[in-house]
Amino acid sequence: MTKTSKYVSRQSDANGIIHWSAEENQIWQELISRQLSVVEGKACSEFMQGLEKLQLPRDRIPQLAEVSSVLRATTGWECAEVPALISFDKFFELLANKRFPVATFIRSREEFDYLQEPDIFHEIFGHCAMLTHPAFAEFTHMYGKLGLAASKQDRVYLARLYWFTIEFGLLNTADGLRIYGGGILSSPGETLYALQSDVPERLPFDALEMLRTPYRIDIMQPVYFTLDNIDTLFDAAKLDMMALVNQAKALGLHTPKFPPKEKQAS
C-alpha cells in the first residue's frame, strides 16, 4: 500500500458523483457479467444474498453512495473513496471506523484478468456483498481496530489473517465447498482453482496457523483456510488476536509452499 500505482483514481464532484467514461463503464459491464456467471454455484449463499441486497448495476460502475446506503442499512458500514494506494495507517483507520476503502479506478484492458492492485471492481463486487453480513462485518471491524493499534511488525502478521479470511477464505456448506473471500470472488481463474484444483491444501480455520503461513499476492494460492460456518467469524472477532500474534512470532513462520519471487532485472 506504500508502493506507487500506475493508475490514477477519479475524484468525485461536489455532489459525490464520479463521472466515469464510457470505456470504464464498459469494462465494468464486461467484468461483472463474466464474474456473475463464474461464481454461480461457487460463491457462498451469504455472498449471493449480499449481491441481491446491493443490486449492483450491470451497465455502469455504481456510485459509492448507492453501495453505502445498503451497507449502512444492513451493518452500519459505508464506502470510503480513496486513491489507488493508501498507507497502512489510513487503511486500518478506515476499517476501525466501519468505512471500507474503495479505490476509484478500474483496471485497464491490459490487466483485465488480473491486477495486483485492488480496483473498484474488486472492492465493490468482491467485498461489499459480504459486508452486508453481520459476522463478516464485525470481523472486518475488529481487524481494523487491531491493526490501528498494532506495531509495524505485528501488522505483517495481521496481514496474513486478512489474506486467508477476507481475501481468500473458503466456507464448508451442506452443498460443498463455497467461497466468501473477495480476492477469489473477483478473479475468474482463482474462483475455479480454489474449488476444483487438487493442487492447493485446504485447511480448517485456525487463526494461529494463518498468522504463521506465508503467502504471495501474484500466484494462485497454495493454501486456503475453510470455515464451517460464516458465524465463526463472530467468535474469531472475540479472540485475543494479539496474544496469538505473539505466539506466532515465538513459533516462527511455516516454510513457504511456493518458490521465492524472481527478481526482475533492472
Per the annotation, the verdict on 12 as an active-site residue is no
Helices (H) and strands (E) in the chain, counts: 12, 6
- Which member of 68, 78, 81, 122 is catalytic? 122
CA–CA separation, 177 vs 183, rounded Å?
Answer: 16
- Which member of 78, 127, 133, 190 is catalytic? 127
In terms of Cβ atoms closer than 10 Å to its own Cβ (0-12, 13-18, 19+), residue 19 is: exposed
- Give the residue among 132, 137, 129, 124 at the shortest CA–CA distance from 74: 132
- Give the residue among 167, 162, 147, 255 at the shortest CA–CA distance from 211: 162
Rounded to the nearest 10 degrees, the angle between the axes of helix 152-162 and helix 241-251 is: 100
Per the annotation, the verdict on 19 as an active-site residue is no
CA–CA separation, 173 vs 211, rounded Å?
Answer: 24
- Which member of 9, 68, 186, 187 is catalytic? 186
Cα Rg of the chain (Å, integer): 18
Per the annotation, the verdict on 127 as an active-site residue is yes
Per the annotation, the verdict on 40 as an active-site residue is no
Please give the grid coordinates belonging to residue 265.
Answer: 532485472
Q: Which residues are catalytic?
A: 122, 127, 167, 186
